[in-house]
Structure 1
Amino acid sequence: MTKKSANVHFQNRERRGSQSSLPDMNGATRSQSRSSGAKSPTRNSNGTFRRYPDKQDRERPGVDRTDTSASGWATENEEDDEKLKQSEFEKKKQTFITRAIWTLVMIAIFFGSMFAGHIYVIIIVTAVQIISFKEVIAISNVPSRARSLRFTKTLNWYFLGSTMYFLYGESVIYYFKHIVLIDRVLLPFATHHRFISFMLYVMGFVFFVGSLQKGHYKFQFTQFAWTHMALYLIVVQAHFIMNNIFEGMIWFFLPVMLVITNDIFAYICGITFGRTQLIKLSPKKTVEGFVGAWICTIAIGFLLTNILMRSKYFICPVNDLGANILTGLQCEPNPVFLPHTYTLPFIPATYTLLPHKISVCPMQFHILIMSTFASLIAPFGGFFASGLKRTFNIKDFGDSIPGHGGMTDRMDCQFIMGFFAFMYYQSFIAVYKASVGSVLEIAITSLSAEEQREVVKGLAKHLYNQGEVGMKVLEFLAENMGGQVRRR
């Protein structure tokens, strides 16, 4: 009999055996064996039967070798599940490695820029707000491309540029009056800054109205409102973070670290003893983690404050953009950084063993408030971002940071915390006194040219009387500005 007929004969025998339900090697019928997913036995070269193909058959393409009976051997589905688990494990491992590497990169960039100088921190904050604005706007820009609407994306970036011009200009004029107001080129921009900013916005507004297309009014006005919401929530709040840098590095560093500390300890406390769900927008957030992180953030805040108060580089306002951690800054410290003596009213005078007075810096009381805000209020910025992502059915705002998602995912709590730090500093900590910039601003904007000359001559006479300038200065002023020199 030829090989072909042998094969036919084998198939017929197998079919007859299946129909007669002969018992298989495990005691079950062949029909039951097949119904459980097992293959039919195959013939060896000597005519005997075996359950699996030999090595050559296993290596032969197209031979299915993974299905078995229910006797305990691995099935094809089980092997697929195992491969899927391995694939998921490798994916999680790779994600963890990528996330860890980029976490170290971000830490290095953060501390490197902070120690290098204020100008580098300003550059980082500017980049963060631009990237965050881009990510938020990108959520609503997809439909605009599908509808082929003109100028939608261009208008978004125009409003960003005009808003940043207004906000950055306000900061530069406020903190660097003594430079801007005496420069011939910058003086007109400084004195008319707000009007110029307003006209820039009006030009964008007119351009938007002119770009409205019939049939898309509702969508375009929605985009207009979305752009302004992004400008307020990201660009405006980032502007106050910028002002914190000018007021002193500590007012930038502390709020950032308080939010990071609270986030870390909320995770640790949550997985350790968290049981009660805090809010439905973030199912993994627990009440126990929320409260535990609050306590830990207060403790870390006290420790960081004690360390940072000892460095004038952190507590001094910016008076030199070229300064760094090595050169440092010089200033008269704010009173909140100086020890004050407080009497404890709840200890009776008869108790001599207990202290009745303590010496502590007022900043320690202020950090208590800031830590509480970072723990109890700032996380709602993250909850807001979670609700926004759920609205658009997205996991992350973008992929700007490998392994971490978008920049907005990392900054959702930082914006509101920086805004609060600025408002709190201006309301309860800042010391308002006359500065060179403020005096120059009043003289330039409020006095005539003749009055300004009188101020200069009066200051020159005062300095001469104090021995700060010589007689030649008075003579020079008298020759070039008019008037007579009067010796004391």
Structure 2
Amino acid sequence: MSRLAGGHSIIASKTTFDALAVESGEESEEEVLEVIPQLETPSPVDAKPTKSAIKKALKLARAEKRQRQKALARAQAGQVSSGNSVTSGDSPSITLVSLGDSTEFAKPIAEHDKSPLVVLPPPATTSPVNEPGRPDAKLNGTTETLAPLEPRPVAQEMPVSVPQPPVVAPLPPFVEADTKPVRSSQANHVTPPPQKQVEDSEKSKKRQSFLTRTLWTFIMIGGFIGLLLLGHAYMVLLVMLCQSLVYREVTALFSLKSTKPEAHDVDSHRGKDPWSKTLNWYFFAVTNYFLYGESIIYYFKHVVFADAQLLPFATNHRMISFILYTIGFMGFVMSLKKGYLKQQFGLFCWVHMSLLLIVVSSHFIVNNILEGLIWFWVPASLVICNDVFAYVWGITLGRTPLIKLSPKKTVEGFIGAFFSTILFGVLWGTYFMGFSYMICPVHDLGVSAWSSMQCTPNPVFIWREWQIWAPVSVFLSTLFGRTITTIPYAPYQFHLLFMSFFASLVAPFGGFFASGFKRAFNIKDFGHSIPGHGGMTDRMDCQFLMGVFTYVYYSSLIREHHVTVGSILQTIVSGLTVDEQLELVADLKRYLSGQGIMVP
């Protein structure tokens, strides 16, 4: 509702402040603003306001609001409403504004007020504030008779003059804060890459990844065969290198950070325990010293116990290892800090689990090498073969997922790899069992493939004849045109069947275990040690499990326990005193002289 008095137009300006996001406090009545008809023409609506203009408008609106509140606080006659919203039925509310001959000030209001704005022409006569009648408002052909204003009682003894609100210049069109400047269509237009270009890019990436993976596969195979020909010592170094890389990748997954640092603890704000990595590698070194020391003492007794400098270390090896471990344990306890306790104990368990699964498994693989290269070369080849054939059969016939931890593994690939690995294992192992370099246990770490090695082979490598049942012999003789009464075989071939079963049915679960490990830490690969293949752990996950099985299988069912010079020498050195050893030497010389053997 509007009222004209003295050539001035009074409008309801609350919508203007609402559009400028100015809080209006707890007022319940509409605010009144007196505006002079001769208003300056505002900037065009479509003009782009600057940030300084917007800030200036907001500042001016706040100043106006403060002045108006002060004026209304001093006024005792109340506040006169100058605009009303007319609502008919379900139609939206309409704000009626009378501006006389000027409607320019309605633009800022109409832009931000959600209700439609109707500008009424000025009435012919002006009614006083306390006049019982008002002009009617015509809207859409209908006439709304507005209720007359009730006059407010004013004390006659103390007439109060209502101060006029300050005159405010029209505000520029308001632009919301989140409104972005309009740019040309050419600047915003981004031509999407054609579908063909996207497909070509994906194919190029896959081709590059395949070439990198294939190249490094041949590099690893070539390096593996080269070290195999160089000798047992180089194979042991290869296993130690692989276990070091795997241990580094696995322990790096455990990040030691303080979740509740103490305010008085300066070190807790560093976000990391400086001794964690040192202790990790200390326990790694001590474990390797103990395990590899045991292997050297067992397989090289004739060298260790005959050397005066190595003898103290050989006889006290386990005690030295225990003392070294105790020092590491004490160092761990001394490094405990507030804010890290739970994570430090978690890291302690993490390290020991890694030592058990990685270092101990590698120790068994080294023992397989020292028992004969064939016990390392063939099992490792079976795992590689099973992995390759599982991939080939999977992409060829794979339809049914095998396990959720590895979505790419299929039942068809698993079954196809099983039969392929059995056939490959029997043929591959039978071929290499004919080389003394592969089947002889090591007694000298300086030997290689070009050295002449002679040993008494294990009975499992000796060929035997299996007598065929007579009716079957007649049938085979008729079929092949020659007499067949026996079939040659070696017991090692039956052992190859069991190792092939394990490599194709059980060893893949080492890979599934590693896949679950990676999913737990939300990583794709354990590292980037091998381009195209990820980390060393991604390639050795099944080999550790296969190596442990081979050692247990060999030591339980195949190894022959003979009395050797090294074992007797170990018993003499560790069980006899010096006088008893001299007496044994004298008796041995007397025995050899009686046999006609000259002893120098």
* TM-score relative to the length of structure 2: 0.64
Partner of 2:383: 259
Bigger Cα Rg: 2
Partner of 2:177: none
Q: 2:445 aligns with which of 321, 337, 357?
A: 321
Q: 1:226 aligns with which of 334, 345, 350?
A: 350
Letter of the aligned partner of 2:395 in structure 1?
A: I
Q: Distance in 1 between matches of 2:487 and 2:365?
A: 34
Q: Deviations over 1:80-107 (max 9, x none)?
A: x544443333322222222222111111
Instruction: Note if 1:291 corresponds to 2:405.
Output: no
Partner of 1:371: 500
Instruction: Note if 1:407 corresponds to 2:531.
Output: no
What SS does the corresponding residue of 1:139 show, helix, strand or coil? coil
Give the direction of change, closer, same or farther, for the CA distance of 1:64–1:327 in structure 2 (3 Å limit).
farther
Letter of the aligned partner of 1:111 in structure 2?
A: I
Partner of 1:484: none
Q: Deviations over 1:259-300 (max 9, x none)?
A: 000000111111111222111101111111111111111111
Tell me which moved more, 322-331 or 83-92: 83-92
Instruction: Note if 1:382 corresponds to 2:506.
Output: no
- Following superposition, the deviation at residue 319 of structure 1 comes to 1.4
Q: Is the 8 A contact 1:259 1:375 kept in 2?
A: yes
Q: Which runs of 4+ in 1 moved over 6 A?
A: 348-351
Partner of 1:312: 436
Partner of 1:23: none
Q: Deviations over 1:283-323 (max 9, x none)?
A: 11111111111111111111111111110000000012111
Partner of 2:227: 113
What SS does the corresponding residue of 1:284 show, helix, strand or coil? strand
Instruction: Note if 1:280 corresponds to 2:404.
Output: yes
Give the direction of change, closer, same or farther, for the CA distance of 1:372–1:95 in structure 2 (3 Å limit).
same
Tell me which moved more, 386-395 or 100-109: 100-109
Partner of 2:395: 271
Q: Is the 8 A contact 2:256 2:344 kept in 1?
A: no
- Following superposition, the deviation at residue 457 of structure 1 comes to 1.9
Tell me which moved more, 454-463 or 248-257: 454-463
Q: Is the 8 A contact 2:361 2:545 kept in 1?
A: yes
Instruction: Note if 1:76 corresponds to 2:187.
Output: no
Give the direction of change, closer, same or farther, for the CA distance of 1:375–1:350 in structure 2 (3 Å limit).
closer
Q: Distance in 2 between matches of 1:384 and 1:184?
A: 47
Q: Distance in 2 between matches of 1:468 and 1:421?
A: 43
Give the direction of change, closer, same or farther, for the CA distance of 1:77–1:66 in structure 2 (3 Å limit).
farther
Q: Distance in 1 between matches of 2:452 and 2:510?
A: 34
Q: Distance in 2 between matches of 1:350 and 1:316?
A: 37
Aligned CA RMSD, in angstroms, stands at 2.2
Partner of 2:571: 442
Q: 1:95 aligns with which of 209, 218, 226?
A: 209
Q: Distance in 2 between matches of 1:442 and 1:248?
A: 25
Q: Distance in 1 between matches of 2:471 and 2:206?
A: 63
Q: Distance in 2 between matches of 1:350 and 1:291?
A: 31
Q: Distance in 2 between matches of 1:91 and 1:183?
A: 59
Letter of the aligned partner of 1:372 in structure 2?
A: F
Partner of 1:34: none
Give the direction of change, closer, same or farther, for the CA distance of 1:338–1:387 in structure 2 (3 Å limit).
same
Give the direction of change, closer, same or farther, for the CA distance of 1:349–1:91 in structure 2 (3 Å limit).
closer
Instruction: Note if 1:419 corresponds to 2:548.
Output: yes
Q: Distance in 2 between matches of 1:383 and 1:359?
A: 39
Pairwise mapping of residues 128-277 of structure 1 onto structure 2 (< 5 A)? Answer: 128-141=242-255, 143=257, 147-277=271-401
Q: Distance in 1 between matches of 2:450 and 2:596?
A: 35
Q: Is the 8 A contact 2:256 2:273 kept in 1?
A: no
Partner of 2:592: 463
Letter of the aligned partner of 1:128 in structure 2?
A: C
Q: Distance in 1 between matches of 2:597 and 2:533?
A: 59
Give the direction of change, closer, same or farther, for the CA distance of 1:229–1:300 in structure 2 (3 Å limit).
same
Q: Is the 8 A contact 2:425 2:500 kept in 1?
A: yes
Pairwise mapping of residues 47-86 of structure 1 onto structure 2 (< 5 A)? Answer: 64=186, 76-79=191-194, 81-86=195-200
Higher normalized helix content (fraction of residues): 1
* Larger relative contact order (CA 8 Å, sep ≥ 6): 1
Q: Distance in 2 between matches of 1:297 and 1:468?
A: 54
- Following superposition, the deviation at residue 360 of structure 1 comes to 1.1
- Following superposition, the deviation at residue 349 of structure 1 comes to 6.7
Point out where structure 1 has 5 or more consecutive residues left out of the alignment.
Answer: 1-61, 68-74, 474-488
What SS does the corresponding residue of 2:367 show, helix, strand or coil? helix
What SS does the corresponding residue of 1:140 show, helix, strand or coil? coil
Q: Distance in 2 between matches of 1:413 and 1:146?
A: 38
Pairwise mapping of residues 31-42 of structure 1 onto structure 2 (< 5 A)? Answer: none
Instruction: Note if 1:340 corresponds to 2:468.
Output: no
Q: Is the 8 A contact 2:256 2:343 kept in 1?
A: no
Q: Deviations over 1:366-417 (max 9, x none)?
A: 0000000000000000000000000000000000011110000000000010
Letter of the aligned partner of 1:295 in structure 2?
A: F
What SS does the corresponding residue of 1:134 show, helix, strand or coil? helix
Partner of 1:127: 241
Q: Distance in 2 between matches of 1:277 and 1:146?
A: 46
Q: Distance in 1 between matches of 2:255 and 2:452?
A: 45
What SS does the corresponding residue of 1:318 show, helix, strand or coil? coil
Q: Is the 8 A contact 1:135 1:398 kept in 2?
A: yes
What SS does the corresponding residue of 2:409 show, helix, strand or coil? strand
Give the direction of change, closer, same or farther, for the CA distance of 1:432–1:403 in structure 2 (3 Å limit).
same
Q: Deviations over 1:211-246 (max 9, x none)?
A: 111122111111111111111111110110000010
Q: Distance in 2 between matches of 1:205 and 1:343?
A: 62
- Following superposition, the deviation at residue 424 of structure 1 comes to 0.4
Partner of 1:359: 488
Partner of 1:3: none
Q: Is the 8 A contact 1:248 1:318 kept in 2?
A: yes
Partner of 2:521: 392
Q: Distance in 2 between matches of 1:124 and 1:98?
A: 22
